[in-house]
């Protein structure tokens, strides 16, 4: 798997140090009670797990699944699919919500989730992203907390995937052109009718 990596953008050590600082920043402004930490699955799972262990706030966890990527795509399709909303809506009623997502590139996912949760009676909704891409849409979308700003590149690791792979990398990296081409070829082969 290491041979598939082109460039490591953020090391495991840098991630750990930033999460320590981010948790301190967040705990100073998040409510001490009635807080629901809501990871956006599946990409936000690793980040949310490491972050919540650093937060001293009393909190519960409720997950929601949102996707605007499909298969081997490296850019958002523009359509956001939300699943698990009924459980999430019940969990946030009368609570403060911290939405935790992996990456901000268009703001579509967070916007869709904020709208759905606000209509469910959440007292407040704050957003936190691991990565914010250097794209006009990402810069224009306000988030409360951001761990890292990155170039507009397709990245994997620390929860982010390409065709379901690389989520378990402890760093955030780009893939070689060969790894991307191979992954796209695998996807096309799987999509062929039998």
Helices vs strands, H then E, count in the chain: 6, 10
Query: Is the CB of residue 154 less than 8 Å from the CB of residue 9?
Result: no
Catalytic: 105? yes
Catalytic-labelled residue, pool 105, 144, 149, 161:
105
Q: Enumerate residues 6+ apart whose C-beta is below 8 A from 138.
A: 104, 105, 106, 107, 132
Rounded Cα distance, 181 and 139, in Å? 29
Rounded Cα distance, 33 and 19, in Å? 21
What is the set of active-site residues? Answer: 105
């Amino acid at each position: 798997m290491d041979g598939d990596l082109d460039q490591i953008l953020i090391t495991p050590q840098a991630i750990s140090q930033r999460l320590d600082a981010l948790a301190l920043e967040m705990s100073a402004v998040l409510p001490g009670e009635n807080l629901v930490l809501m990871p956006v699955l599946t990409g936000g799972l690793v980040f949310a797990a490491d972050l919540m262990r650093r937060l001293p706030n009393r909190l519960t966890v409720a997950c929601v699944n949102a996707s605007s990527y499909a298969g081997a795509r490296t850019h958002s399709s523009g359509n956001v699919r939300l699943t698990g909303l009924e459980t999430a809506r019940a969990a946030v009623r009368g609570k403060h919500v911290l939405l935790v997502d992996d990456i901000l590139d268009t703001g579509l996912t967070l916007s869709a989730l904020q709208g759905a949760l606000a209509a469910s009676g959440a007292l407040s909704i704050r957003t936190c992203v691991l990565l914010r891409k250097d794209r006009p849409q990402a810069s224009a979308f306000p988030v409360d907390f951001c761990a890292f700003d990155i170039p507009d590149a397709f990245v994997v690791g620390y929860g982010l995937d390409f065709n379901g792979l690389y989520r378990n990398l402890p760093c955030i990296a780009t893939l070689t052109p060969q790894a991307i081409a191979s992954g796209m070829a695998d996807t096309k082969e799987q999509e062929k009718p039998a």
